[in-house]
Chain A
Amino acid sequence: MDTIVFALILVAALLIIFVKKRWVVILGYSIAFVATAALFAHHVTSVLDLSF
């Protein structure tokens, strides 16, 4: 999964460099962003034993 997310970030970077249309770039970035957030959510497996 981590490898795939890095690949999505790479694709977003290549879209920024080679594609002129802004909505395509924003779409690519959004997919990479959501994938990264989902990976982070997967690794947050436990509630912190802290009191605020």
Chain B
Amino acid sequence: MSEIHVSALQTENASTTVVVGDTRVVVPAPTKPHHVLLGKLGFWAQVGFMLAYIGVLSGAMFYFQFGLNEMPCPLCITQRMGMMLSSLGALYVIVGSLRGRLSPAGFMTGLGFAILGALLGAAMSIRQILLHIMPGDPGYGGAVLGLHLYTWALVSFVVVLVFAGVLLTLGTEFLPVRPSSKFGRVVAWVVIGIFIFTVVANMVVVFAEEGFNMYLPDDPTNWILFQQLGWSK
């Protein structure tokens, strides 16, 4: 049995360099979570992130817009876009993981998408909060648990920023690992399908609201497309 004499061993930036004679061997930093359960938790956290925004977007559209007949204002629509841009980050991570090609760099790209979308969305919701911040202002639209929808939108964007910040702080600990069961993978693809449907539904509904105009009116009250087509007054 031969012996290898290690002349130097140093650790820098989480990678380890082993020097044997004239040979330097650099062992890179781990690119997988330390425990597969953390990776699976990371995967389902991303699915939950996307599912939460699907719920918010669907609730805004089906309950407030169709149920209570509250037409969304232009800023409300841009906040929906911010939520979708943010969700694209989760989509990128989930798809990469399901296809088995998610690298740490890809994980960071996904979190970057989520952060950028959340920052843009937060700017929009802060703008709308400030529009109605003066005492006595009733705000725009209905309220949920005492807060208007644009205030809840800001809360959701801050939650996304904290979520992405914590994951980036922990590095690759929660690098998503795709589910080992086929059922789990099918569930993830179904959630992705529902997200795509949500984007398409919003696109169709906003077209009906905006018609062939370039922009939405500041205070929309009816379906402009149907008026333009002569289907309603």
Which one of A5, A6, A16 lies within 8 Å of B88 (CB-CB)? A16
A16 contacts across to B, CB distance below 8 A: 88, 91-92, 95
Those of B9-25 within 8 Å (CB) of chain A: none
Decide: A40 near B196, CB < 8 A? Known: A2-B210, A17-B95, A22-B109. no
Complex CA gap A2/B76 in Å reads: 11
Count of inter-chain pairs, beta carbons less than 8 A = 87
Our pick among B78, B113, B131, B207 for the contact of A3 (Cβ within 8 Å) is: B207
Give the complex CA separation of A26 and B215 in angstroms. Answer: 27
Question: Would you call the interface of chain A mostly helix, strand, loop, or mixed?
Answer: helix
**Are A33 and B120 touching (Cβ within 8 A)?**
yes
Contact yes or no, A10 B85, CB < 8 A = no
Q: Please determine whether B123 and A40 come into contact, CB atoms closer than 8 angstroms.
A: yes
A25 to B113, CA, bound (A): 11
Inter-chain contact A42/B81, CB cutoff 8 Å: no
Pick the residue among B78, B133, B203, B214 that contacts A50 (CB under 8 A).
B133
B122-148, CB under 8 A of A: which get 1 and which 0?
011001001101000000000000000
B120 touches A6 (CB 8 A): no
Q: List B contacts of A42 (CB < 8 A).
A: 215
